[in-house]
Amino acid sequence: MSSRLPARGVPAASDPVRRLSRRRLLRHTMAGTGALLAAGPLSGCASPASASGASALSVWDLFQGGDGMLMDDMIEAVSKGAAGAEGFEVDRTILDWGPSYYTKLAMSAAGGRASDVAAMHLSRLAGYAPGGLVDAFDLDLLAEFGVTRKDFTPAVWARTQHDGTVYAIPLDVHPFIVFYDKEAADTAGLLDSSGELAPMGSPEALLDAGKALAEATGESGILFGHVTDTAQNWRLFAGLYAQTGAEFTLPDGGPPEIDIDAAVRVVTLMKQFFDGRTNPNNLDYNGALAAFTGGRGGMAMLGEWELPTLKQSGIPLGAAPFPQVFEKPAVYTDSHSFVLPHQENPDPARRREAHRYVAEILKQSLTWASAGHIPAYQPVLAEPEYAALDPQSSYADAAKVAVLDPPNWFVGAGSNFQNRMCQPLQSALLGNTSAEKAVRQMVREADALLRQPNPVA
């Protein structure tokens, strides 16, 4: 599904109600159907310019619902020429998030029918840059438009590269964090003098926090939905494992390089924590979310992207980076980023406009932050308007200690790797296997994936 936004000087629809109902609402409610581009339409489209007019910049992304509407607003701002800049004509295509999106992105790049700009989870870059499916950014050109590597945290910027060349520009950092009921946390004695969640510093402190919150709420302590989920267990494990200081490395061809003792230590804590009493061990994702919004738990381990839903619940909401309980600060995260899908002979003028578009969208990141995402472009974090965002500004430091999936072609958001890691972890949390057996199964699963040939190598 495509949407063409007006260039500067071209009037938009004058009736805002009509625009919401006919442009924005229809697009986002139908995105799941219209975005399922079959091989015929995908292979049959011409170049982005001929499909939408020579001046239209073709952009692919996977932002639907509330995020999609915010991206609409950001694109509309840059299309009109925000802050006095020259505007754009943008042809935006919204695709279903998940494996299908990345398959279509790869097909379009390999088939010579790629968009000018596309969104990609930074954790997926290792499956695209080595195979030539995305093109490198010109950092001098980005700097001309006011964006440099110094505008990003080193933890995130390090993952934008392959062989020392930058192939992705981060839009945000979206970490796995904790949300909490401020009143329950206060009763449980977990807040510092400023009313924020106090540091924990040890596994024992995390266990005690769960018990204290259960007592404060009269129900559950900390909620975590993982049953049949394809990512949640991995998010929790990966963040805690990184806090031990151990490396989780997946070299091509294998075997995986995983610190078994550190991994067992982490899974043992997970089993102790989600003991089925103060912290339920058998919730699915929606069950945990519903329990927290319904006041049946004092804290929830979730992605920051749930902030809009949680704000609607009416609970006195606080949020914080995932607590450090082992030796090293680390928060599991990912990043929505922009890439330049490979084009055999890109037009220099269009490539220049693609760089300018990415830079201008980054400068609109305060809008993006309203949904909970941490802007990757650091100058936005320094604005007073961002500091006033509650609770977003409370967990912004998570970007400084961000840890992403280990780089490999089969790893990243929506990947089968995450799903295969989650299954033995789920078995351990449900009490069906030991921590050591779960870790050994994770190693076997990783080894099996490493033995598969890279389809784009």
254-267 residue pLDDT tens: 999 999 999 999 99
- Among residues 84, 70, 72, the alpha carbon closest in space to that of 5 is found at 72
DSSP H or E run through 455: none
Is residue 424 helix, strand or coil? helix
- Report the pLDDT value the prediction gives residue 246, as an integer from 0 to 100: 98
Mean pLDDT confidence for 44-50: 34
* Whole-number percent of the chain with pLDDT over 70: 88
Mean pLDDT confidence for 20-45: 34
Domains contained in the chain, CATH given: 2-171+335-394 (3.40.190.10), 175-333+415-450 (3.40.190.10)
Query: Which residue type occupies 108?
Result: S
Quick check: 13 pLDDT over 60?
A: no
Omega before 255 cis (within 30°)? yes
Cα distance between residue 196 and residue 238, in whole Å: 25
Contact 335, 170 (CB under 8 A): yes
The dihedral region occupied by 427, where left means phi > 0, alpha psi between -120 and 50, and beta the remainder, is alpha
Contact residues for 181 (Cβ-Cβ < 8 A; gap 6+)? 217, 292, 295, 297, 298, 299, 315, 316, 317, 318
Cα distance between residue 111 and residue 344, in whole Å: 10
Cα distance between residue 6 and residue 381, in whole Å: 29
- Report the pLDDT value the prediction gives residue 89, as an integer from 0 to 100: 92
Length of the chain: 457
Contact 368, 172 (CB under 8 A): yes
Quick check: 4 pLDDT over 50?
A: no
Tokens representing 16 are 């805002």
- Report the pLDDT value the prediction gives residue 5, as an integer from 0 to 100: 39
Contact 400, 331 (CB under 8 A): no
For the chain, the first-to-last Cα distance in angstroms comes to 30
pLDDT confidence of 83, banded at 50, 70, 90?
confident
Is residue 251 helix, strand or coil? coil
Task: Find the DSSP H helices in 5-81.
Answer: 16-19, 26-34, 39-44, 48-52, 65-80
Q: Which phi and psi (to 5°) does residue 16 adopt?
A: -65, -30
Contact 359, 171 (CB under 8 A): no
Contact 62, 97 (CB under 8 A): yes
pLDDT confidence of 24, banded at 50, 70, 90?
very low
DSSP H or E run through 456: none
Q: Which of 48-62, 157-171, 234-248, 373-387 has the lowest mean pLDDT?
A: 48-62
* Whole-number percent of the chain with pLDDT over 90: 83
Quick check: 166 pLDDT over 80?
A: yes
Half-sphere exposure of 21 (CA within 13 A, CB side): 4
Mean pLDDT confidence for 270-274: 97
Give the number of other CB atoms < 10 A from CB of residue 413: 23
Q: Is 14 exposed, middle or buried (0-12, 13-18, 19+ CB in 10 A)?
A: exposed
Contact 302, 229 (CB under 8 A): no
- Report the pLDDT value the prediction gives residue 457, as an integer from 0 to 100: 66
- Report the pLDDT value the prediction gives residue 10, as an integer from 0 to 100: 31
The dihedral region occupied by 53, where left means phi > 0, alpha psi between -120 and 50, and beta the remainder, is left
Quick check: 18 pLDDT over 70?
A: no
Half-sphere exposure of 94 (CA within 13 A, CB side): 23
| Nearest-5° Cα angle at 176, 202 to 163 | 105
Q: Give the distance from CA 403 to its chain's centroid.
A: 12
